[in-house]
Structure 1
Amino acid sequence: METVEEHRENLQRLQGVWDTLALLGQMSGAVPDIGSTRRAFEQLGSTLLDALATRTLAHLRDCLQSRAQVAIDVLVRNLFERTADVGFLATDSELRAHAQQCAGEPQPDPQRRAALEARFREYVAKYSVYDDILVLSPHGQVLARLMPGEPDTAAVADQPWFAQALRGSGYVEHAGALPLQPGRSGLLYAHAVRGNGGAVVGVLCLSFRFEDEMQRIFGQLGAQQHAGALALIDAQARVVASSDPWLLPVGAVLPQHAQPRLRFAGREMVAALARPTGYEGYGGPGWRALAVVPADAAFEPPLPGQGAEQQALPPDLDRIDTQRLFDAQLQAIGPQAQRIERGLARLLWNGRLRQSEDSLAGAAFASTLLGEVGLTGERLRGVFDQAIANLHRSTLAAVFDRVRHHARLAIDIMDRNLYERANDVRWWALDGVLRATLAGQAEVPQAEAVLAHINRLYTVYTLLVLVDLQGQVVAVSQPGAAHWRGQVIDEPWVAAALACRDSQAHAVSRHQPSALYEGRSTYVFGAALRDAQQRPVGAIGIVFDGAPQFTAMLADAMPRDLAGCAQIVTRSGLLVASTDATQPVGQPVPLPPGWGQLAAGASGACVIDINGVAHAVGYAMAGGYREYPVARTDAADDVGTLVITPLGRRLPAAEPPVLPFEARPVTGRRGRAPLLRVAAFRLGDGWFGLPIEQVLQAPDGVRVTPLPQARSLRPHLPGLLSYEDALLPVLDVALLRGIHRPPVDDAPIVVAQAGPQHRLALRVDELGPVFEVHPDDLQTVPNGTERLVQGNGRHMLTLLDARVLWQATSDRALPEPTASV
C-alpha cells in the first residue's frame, strides 16, 4: 500500500532523528528525558499505520463485495422474469395447437411450423434476451425452433432436465450444454406444453442470451476497467462466466473457500464472494458471484483513460463533521497526537526554564537542542495530520464512489424492470384468446382465464384489464376487480394504447395516481389488440404494482451498511418511491444541481444539505436497457435515482490560527540592567507572559479539584491543584480577563510564584517561547501593573505580574517585597 508505506518511512526517519537528539540530550544534560514521549509517538504511529492499512484493505473489500453482490442480484432479477416467460409462453394457444397436432402426424406440417416460427420471431423482437426458442416432442424431436439452419435432431430424451420438464411440475432451469447447439453452453428454461386434454404433448425451451447478458452486467460494474475480475461460480466452485478469462478462465475449478483470500494459478488474490439475496422467493440457478483482484495490483490506481478515474470530491468537505465515518480508534488518533505534542511542549518549556545562565555556550547548545527536539515533534505531528487527512479524503472518496455507483445500479434495475413491462404488454396483446374476445369470437370468461393465468405468473402486477375501442372494461384478471366490467376508463394511457401503430408499439402512463391502483401513483402499460385484418379491436392495460416493487428495487440497490435512503425521483423533482417510508410519494425533494438538464444515463455525486445535515448524494438519470433508450415515452417523464447518506452537520467557519509569538533578537546589552527572561503562554488569540523568576513549572498529569459553587460565584477560579504537598488555587487567566473560548480538557497549567510563601496555578491555552528582552524595551500600560513586549511583526505580548494575579484568588493583597540590601 503505497500511501501507508510512505507514512511508515517518514515515521521511521523521524524516529531515527529523535533517537539521535535524545542521545545528545542525555549526554549533555541539556534536555529532559523524552523517552516516554518517544515511546508514545512510536506506539501511536504503529496504531496509525495499522488503522491506515486496515481501512485501505476494508475499502477494497467493500468495493469487491458490493460489485459481487450487485452482479448476482441483477442477474437473479433478470432470470426471475425468464421463469415467468416460459410458463406463460407454454400456454400460448398457437404453440399448444401445433404441438398437439404434431402428436398425430409423422412429420410436422411445414406451413404450420413456419407460422409458429414467425410467432417466435415476433416474440424475440420484444424479448431480445433470448437467442433461440424450441418446441420439442416428448421424444426430443424438434417441432419448431427460432434459429434456422441448425440440426433438427438431438439426444435430449435421456437428459435429466428434459425428463423433469416432461413431468410437468413447473419450469426447469438447465445450465450447461444446449440442445441442438453443438459446442455451446448456456442457460435454458424448459416447461411442459399440454394439449386440450391436459396431457403433455411437448416441451418448450427458451435459450437465454447468457454470455451477452453477463458482459452487460460486467460492463455496467466497470469490470473491464479494474485490475481484477468478476465471475460467476456454481455450487462446485466452477467458473461459469468471467469478465477476464485469462485471470479466471471459464470452466476452472476454484478453491471452495474463496474469501477473503484466493490462491489460484500461482497468484494470491483478495476476494469477495456474494450469494444472491433472492427476488420474489427465487434464488437463481444456485450460482454465486466472485470478485477478485491480484494482491500485487490490489491498490494500484486505475490506468488513465480506462474510464475508472475517481471524480473530484465536492468542495468544502473540511467544514463538515464527518467523525461518524470513522471508528473510535481512528477518531482517537488525532486528539491523542495532540496530547502527546502538548506533553512534549510542556517538557521542552520546562527544559527552557531550567537553562543555566552561567555558560553562554552551554545555554546556546541547550537552546538549539531543545529547538530541534520541538521541531522533530512538530514534524511527527505533521506526519500524523497528513496521514489522517489522506485517510479522511480516501474515506470520503469511497463514500461518494459508493453512492454514485449504487444510484447507477438502482436506475439500471428500474430500467431493466420497466423494459420487461413494455415487453409483457406487447406480447400479451398478441394472445389469440384476448384478440378473439374483443372481436366477439370468444367468451369473456375465456379471456379472464388467460388474464388470471398471466397475473399468477407475473406477480409484479396488481391488475390486468381488457378494454374495447371506447375504453370500456371487458375483462379483468382479478375477481376482486369485477366491478370494473362495463366501466369506461378515462385515463390518457387508454387512448395512447388504442393508437399504437403496430405490434412493436406500446403506451405507458406518467407516474401518477390511477383509479385502477386505488388512487395511488404508478405506471400503467398498454398496447393495442388487432383482429385478423390488423384492425384495432381494443387494448390491454397492465397495472404495475409500483409501491412495493419500486421499494424492493431501491432496497436491492441500497448498501446494507450505509445509513440513509434511496429514492426514485422525476425530472421535476417529485418523489416516485423511497426506502424511507416516512417520505410521501408525489412530494418535492431536494435535488442535485442541474438535475432537470441531466443527460440520459448520466450520473454523479454531490453534497446536499437536508435539515441542517450535509449528505453525500449519488444520482443517476434513466438511460434505458438494451434496445430501449428509455422506458418512458417523453423526456419530461424520465426518472432518476438518488442514493443519500448523511455525512454530518456543517461546522462553523474555522477561526484563523493564532500565529506563534516571535521575540525580537537581543542585539547587545545597554547599560548594567540585566536582560529579563520571559516565559510566554497564549490565552485565546493573545500572547501573555511572566518573568521567569515567577514561574516554577508546567506540571504534567495534573488534576484540578473543583471548588463548590466556584462556577457561579468565581468562574475564574475553577478549583484547586495539589502541588508539592500543597493545594494551590487555580486561576483561569483568560476568564479573568474576559476572554471567552471553548474549554480544553487538558489545557496546560503553569505554577507561578507570587511571593515566598504564595503560589498559584494558572490555566492557559498554549505554552509559548521562553525568551530574553531588554528592560528598556518594555512599555508600561496605563494600569501600571502590566507591561508590553513588542515581538517581530504585529504581535504584542502582555507581561503579567504573579503578585497581581494572586489578588484575584484572595481577598488579601500580598505584602510589598523587602528591598534587598
Structure 2
Amino acid sequence: MMTAHHLPAMIQSMGSLHRYRESLQQLQSTWDNLSLLSQLSGTGTDMSETRQAFGKITTDVLDSLAQETLNKTISAITAKAQVAVDIVVRNLFERTADIGFLSTDDNLSNFLDKHIAGSVDETDYLLLRERFSEYVQKYSVYFNVILLDAGGNILVQLDDTNPTRQSHDPLIEEALHSDAPYLEVFRHSDLSPGRDASLIYARKVCHDNSDTALGVLCLCFKFEDEMDGIFKDLIRQDEWCVGLLLDEQNRVVASSDHYQIPLGAPLEHALGQDWILTRFAGRLYLAVTRETKGYQGYMGPGWRGHVMIPLEHAFEDNVASIIAGIDPMLLKKVMRSPLLFSPTLLGIPKQAATIQSKLNQSVWNGNIWQKRDASHNAQQNNFSKMLLWEISNTGFKTQSVVEKTVADLYQTVVAVMLENSRFFASLAVDIMDRNLYERANDCRWWALTATFQRLLSQPELGMQEMHAITKVLAYINQAYTVYSNLVVFDRHGRIVAVSNPTYERLTGETITADWAKAALQLRRSQDYVVSDFEPTPLYDNQPTYIYAAAIRHQEQTVGGIGIVFDSAPQFSAMLSDALPRSADNEVIQGSFTLYVDEKLRVISSTSQDFAVGSHFTVHPGLCKLAPGSTGFDIALYHDNYYAVGARASSGYREYKGAGDNYKHHVTALIFIPLGKAADINAMMDSENLLQQNQFKPVSNQAAAEDAEEYATFYIGKHWLGLPASHIVEAIQANSIKPLPDTSSVLEGMLKHKDSVVPVLNLARLTGIDFQPPEQDKQIVIVQAGPKLPKFGLLVSALGEIPAIAPDAIEPLSAFFATINIPAEGIAKVMTDKGENLLILLSAVNLITRISEAARQASVQNAETEGGGDVLEQVA
C-alpha cells in the first residue's frame, strides 16, 4: 500500500490524479463561498451535508485511483523483473545439460588420449576445432569452446583471438577433482581475459567407464548478448524502466541501460516487499526485485530480477492509447464488472449521482420557497435564484469530476488486464521459441554422432550394431527428458533403433511420413526438418512435432535421426508457466492459455474446453498477426468476458530467422477473466432503472411579465409539471403506508409534518411503465390553495422550474383526441438539452382522482373487512 510518507512524491508524479485533485480543491473553495452566500441570502438550502458527502467520496475515489495507478506500474515492472530472471535461468538450465553431454563426446577423450601419449597431429587439432565449430553453429549461445589438459594448458579452442594459452583459473583444478555434472562461474577469468566477467560452464573429460580426469571442457556463454535479447523483448524503446539482474551482493550484473544503471553498481533491493522507492545517482526510482522460481530444480547462479523506473516517468498516462482500439460497448460492460471492482468502487458513480440528486432536491425546494416568500423583493429573488443555480451547477461539476476520476480508475484496471494479457502471451511464445530452438539444435548435433555415422555407413546392420545405436539413443534420451522417443533410421527410412522401449515393435518398419523423406534429402549439417503437428505412431498416435536431420558419412547420406518432442506435457508446462499470477504468485482463477497454429488448430491448451487438434474460433483474428507482432482485445466466451492477449511466434536467434528455411506460424493466446456477462448485465439493468434528479435550473431572465413558473418532474421518461405556487416541497420518503387495494392509483398514506396526506401514483393512473425504488421514494407535496387538501405525487425525478407564458400553453385537445392524464395543456419548453414537451397537470383534477380512488378503496375495504374510511387509516 502507498504510505503517507510516499504520498506527496507519488501524487506529483501521477499527472491525471494531480489534475483531478487540483480541480476538486478549486471546487471545494467554490463550495465554501457558496455556503457563506447561501446563509447570507436565506435561500433555505443547507449544503453542509452535501459538502461532506462529496468530500468523503472524492477522497475515496482519489485514493483508489492513486492505488490502482501505482498497481498498474508495479504490475508491469514486477512481471518484467520476474521474467528477466526466469527466462535466463531457463536458458542456463539447457547449458548445464550441454556441458554434461558434450564432455562425454568420444572425440574429446580420444584427442586427450593422443595428447597424453604425445601423438596429436595437426589433423587431429583441425578435426576437433571443426567439431567445436559445428557445435557452436548449432548452439549459437556460446562464443568459445575450450578444451584444456590437466595442467591447465589450452589444447583446442574455437576463438582464435583469445591470447590465453594456459589458464590458472581455480575453476580448472576444481573441475578436475569434481564429480558434479557441471560447474558454473560468473566472474573474471583468464580464460577470457578481455572480459570483465564471463559465464563459464566446465566439466572434466573422462572415458566412459572411468572417473580419471583427462582434461577439462569449458563452454563460454554469450551472457551479454543473451541479456540484450531478453531486455529487448521485455522493454520497449519508448519505456523508461531499466531491466537489471543483481547478484547475491546486490550488484548489477546485467543492465538494459548502462548509462542509467551501470554494471557493478550496488543497489538497494526490494526483496520481501512489493516495491520500494530508492535513490540512485541523484534520481528517485520505483523499484521491484524478484527471486527466480527456478526451472526443474535448477536455480541458476543466484541472480535476481530487478526493475527500476524513474519516479517522474513511472505513472505516465498511456491508458487512453491502450484501450483506443477496444469496442466501446465491450469496454463499458467490463468497466462495471464485480469481478474487477469492489461493490464500493462500483457504487461510487451511483453514490455521487445520489448526492447530486439530493442537492438538486434542495435547490428545487429553494426555488419553490423563494416563490412563496413575500419578504423577498424581486431583485433579491433573482439573486437567490442565481445562487441556487450556481449551487446546483457546482454540484454537477463536482459529480462530473468524480465520474471522470472513477472512469479513469476503471479504465486503468482494465488497461492493466489487457496489457497483462499481451505480456504473458509474449512470455508464452518466448518460452516456446527458446525451447524449440534447442530441439532444432539437438537433432542436428546428434546427427553428427560418430557412432551413428560409422555404423549406418555399413551395407547391412546386425543386431550388435543396432544395439550400439540403441544404447547411445537411450543415453541421450535419459539426459534430455523433453523427448518421448528418439529414432534412427537408415537411408531407406527403415527404423534401426529407438530410445524408448515402448516403441521397439516399430524397429524394422519404414517411416513413410514426409518429414523422414525430407530429412534424407538434406545435404548440409546445418539443415533440419520439422514435421507438421500431427499424430504419429512414434508418439502413441498423438499429435506432436518431430525434428529430424540427415546422418552423413564421407559426404553421403547414410540415414537420419528423428527426435520426438514430448509435446503434451512440455507444451502444457510452458503454457502453465506463462499463466498470469496475482501478487501472492497464485494463478489468476479462470485464466487459461493456448498455442494455436496458422490453420487455427489448437496445439496445446490449459483449458479442457480447447482439445488438442480442435478448431479455434473464439477470436481467430488474433491468430493472423505478423511474426513477432502482438495484439489484445476483449472477447465474450461462454457468458464470460475475457482480456485476450496474443503474440505470434518469431523464433529465437537463427531459429525461424531470416536464414532459416523452417517457418511455422504459431500464436500464443492468454485469456484473463474480466467478469460474468450475466452479473454485469444485471448490474447495468439495475442502474438504468434508477432515475435521479438530473435537471439543471434554467434562467428566467428573458421570461414574459405574465409568465408563471412551473415546478416539473418526471414519471419514467414523461415530463410533467404543476404551477410552482401549488407546490409545498419535494421530499424523499420510506414510510408510505400502502392501502389494502393494491390496484388503486393511491400508493398509500404519508405523514407530512402535522398532517397525513394521500400519495397518488401517477404511473398507475396513466399506464406509464415506472417501478418506484424500494428506498428514498421521491414525493412532491402539492397544495393548490389554503382551503384545498394537501396530497403527494410519487414521481421518478425532479425537473427544471421554467417560466411559461399563458399563450405558450396549448390545450391537450390540440394534440390528443382523448387522454387519460388529468392535465390542462402542453407547452414547448427550452431546456439545456434542447426543446422538450411539458405536460401541465391540473391540481384540481388530481384531487378529484384521489377522492374517487379513496372512495373505491373504502367501499372495497368495507365489503371485504368491514372497515371504515380508508383515508382515516394513518401510519
In the superposition, the TM-score normalised over structure 2's length comes to: 0.85
Measured at CA, do residues 507 and 720 of structure 1 come closer, stay the same or move farther in structure 2, by a change above 3 Å?
farther
Aligned partners of 2:315, 2:773: CA distance in 1, in Å?
39
Match of 2:421 in 1: 403
Match of 1:466 in 2: 488
Match of 1:602 in 2: 629
Match of 1:62 in 2: 75
Q: How many residues align?
A: 800
The amino acid that maps onto 1:80 is F
Match of 1:762 in 2: 793
CA contact (8 A) 1:748 1:767 kept: no
CA contact (8 A) 1:661 1:687 kept: no
Q: Structure 2 unaligned segments of length 5 or more: list them.
A: 1-13, 583-587, 813-817, 859-868, 870-875
Aligned partners of 1:595, 1:769: CA distance in 2, in Å?
50
**1:63 match: secondary structure:** helix
**1:262 match: secondary structure:** strand
**2:614 match: secondary structure:** coil
Deviation per CA, 1:353-373, whole angstroms, max 9, x where unpaired? 211352222221111110010
Aligned partners of 1:726, 1:585: CA distance in 2, in Å?
75
The amino acid that maps onto 1:219 is K
Measured at CA, do residues 360 and 754 of structure 1 come closer, stay the same or move farther in structure 2, by a change above 3 Å?
closer
Does residue 260 (structure 1) correspond to residue 276 (structure 2)? The answer is yes
Does residue 749 (structure 1) correspond to residue 762 (structure 2)? The answer is no
CA contact (8 A) 1:271 1:292 kept: yes
Q: Which residue of the other structure, out of 757, 769, 780, is the alignment partner of 1:740?
A: 769
Q: Where do residues 196-595 of structure 1 align in structure 2 (5 Å cutoff)?
A: 196-198=208-210, 199-222=212-235, 224-257=237-270, 259-300=275-316, 312-316=324-328, 317-324=330-337, 325-355=340-370, 356-358=372-374, 359-440=377-458, 443-531=465-553, 533-561=554-582, 562=588, 563-590=590-617, 592=619, 594=621
CA contact (8 A) 1:606 1:616 kept: yes
CA contact (8 A) 1:133 1:145 kept: yes
Q: Which residue of the other structure, out of 99, 103, 108, is the alignment partner of 1:90?
A: 103
The amino acid that maps onto 1:764 is V
Measured at CA, do residues 330 and 62 of structure 1 come closer, stay the same or move farther in structure 2, by a change above 3 Å?
same
Measured at CA, do residues 765 and 415 of structure 1 come closer, stay the same or move farther in structure 2, by a change above 3 Å?
same
Match of 2:66 in 1: 53
Match of 1:120 in 2: 132
Give the percent of matched residue pairs that are identical in Structure 1 and Structure 2.
Answer: 35
Aligned partners of 1:715, 1:156: CA distance in 2, in Å?
104
CA contact (8 A) 2:65 2:408 kept: no
Aligned partners of 1:632, 1:595: CA distance in 2, in Å?
26
CA contact (8 A) 1:754 1:806 kept: no
Q: CA deviation at 1:665?
A: 7.3
Deviation per CA, 1:678-709, whole angstroms, max 9, x where unpaired? 32111222111234455333235x32468599
Q: Which residue of the other structure, out of 822, 830, 850, is the alignment partner of 1:785?
A: 822
Aligned partners of 1:646, 1:472: CA distance in 2, in Å?
50
CA contact (8 A) 2:150 2:176 kept: no
Q: CA deviation at 1:721?
A: 5.0
Measured at CA, do residues 444 and 758 of structure 1 come closer, stay the same or move farther in structure 2, by a change above 3 Å?
farther
Match of 2:863 in 1: none
The amino acid that maps onto 2:354 is R
The amino acid that maps onto 1:384 is V
Q: CA deviation at 1:342?
A: 0.9
Does residue 623 (structure 1) correspond to residue 650 (structure 2)? The answer is yes
The amino acid that maps onto 2:326 is P
**2:232 match: secondary structure:** helix
Aligned partners of 1:404, 1:565: CA distance in 2, in Å?
13
CA contact (8 A) 2:811 2:826 kept: no
Deviation per CA, 1:103-160, whole angstroms, max 9, x where unpaired? 343x85433122111100011111110001112223322232111142344444634x
Deviation per CA, 1:24-78, whole angstroms, max 9, x where unpaired? 1101111411011011111211112211211111111111001111211211221
Aligned partners of 1:809, 1:223: CA distance in 2, in Å?
73
Aligned partners of 1:582, 1:788: CA distance in 2, in Å?
62
Match of 1:144 in 2: 156
The amino acid that maps onto 1:765 is S
Aligned partners of 2:490, 2:756: CA distance in 1, in Å?
98
Q: CA deviation at 1:555?
A: 2.2
Aligned partners of 1:126, 1:76: CA distance in 2, in Å?
20
CA contact (8 A) 1:705 1:719 kept: yes
Q: CA deviation at 1:736?
A: 4.1
Q: Which residue of the other structure, out of 850, 854, 857, is the alignment partner of 1:810?
A: 854
Deviation per CA, 1:426-474, whole angstroms, max 9, x where unpaired? 0000001122332348722222222122112212111111111222221
Q: Which residue of the other structure, out of 773, 776, 798, is the alignment partner of 2:839?
A: 798
Q: CA deviation at 1:616?
A: 2.8
The amino acid that maps onto 1:799 is L
Q: CA deviation at 1:628?
A: 2.6
Does residue 24 (structure 1) correspond to residue 37 (structure 2)? The answer is yes
Does residue 171 (structure 1) correspond to residue 182 (structure 2)? The answer is yes
CA contact (8 A) 1:476 1:485 kept: yes
The amino acid that maps onto 1:483 is R
Aligned partners of 2:773, 2:656: CA distance in 1, in Å?
59
Measured at CA, do residues 707 and 587 of structure 1 come closer, stay the same or move farther in structure 2, by a change above 3 Å?
farther
Q: CA deviation at 1:92?
A: 1.1
The amino acid that maps onto 1:278 is G
Q: Which deviates more from structure 2 when the two are superposed, residues 632-641 or residues 252-261?
A: 632-641
Measured at CA, do residues 131 and 635 of structure 1 come closer, stay the same or move farther in structure 2, by a change above 3 Å?
closer
Question: Could you say what the CA RMSD is over the residues aligned between the two structures, in angstroms?
Answer: 3.2
CA contact (8 A) 2:78 2:288 kept: yes
Match of 2:116 in 1: 103
Aligned partners of 1:227, 1:382: CA distance in 2, in Å?
33
In the superposition, the TM-score normalised over structure 1's length comes to: 0.90
Q: CA deviation at 1:631?
A: 11
Aligned partners of 2:219, 2:758: CA distance in 1, in Å?
89
Q: CA deviation at 1:223?
A: 5.3
The amino acid that maps onto 2:603 is V
The amino acid that maps onto 2:799 is G
The amino acid that maps onto 2:240 is A
Q: Structure 1 unaligned segments of length 5 or more: list them.
A: 303-307, 816-821
Measured at CA, do residues 795 and 131 of structure 1 come closer, stay the same or move farther in structure 2, by a change above 3 Å?
same
Q: CA deviation at 1:389?
A: 2.5
